[in-house]
Amino acid sequence: MSTSYAETWKGIADAVGRSERWCRYMARRGDDPLPVFKVGGIVRLDAVDLDAWISRQRARTLPSLSAALVIAIPQPA
């Protein structure tokens, strides 16, 4: 993100590298939604909040991927 925030769904989508539809979906999900908020009808996403959210998503995903790889790779006898 070139600035410290994005103020439109298009700007948020560009910052995240996904579609506007995906961003809107992720902002509405119940479990750790994309950290957007509205101020006077303008949607906003701060870079610091986005970085923290991405870190949490990686932390949730990487342990399950590591476990899957350990199971999928046969161990030498």
Residue 36 lies in a domain: yes
Q: For the segment 14-47, what is each residue's pLDDT rounded down to a tens digit? A: 988 999 999 999 999 888 999 999 888 899 999 8
Residue 41 lies in a domain: yes
> What per-residue string of b and e applies to 50-69 under the rule 16 or more CB within 10 Å gives b?
beebeeeeeeeeeeeeeeee
Q: Which residue has the tokens 């590298």?
A: 17
pTM: 0.69
- Number of domains comprising the chain: 1
- Tell me the residue range of the domain where 59 lies: 5-72
Residue 77 lies in a domain: no
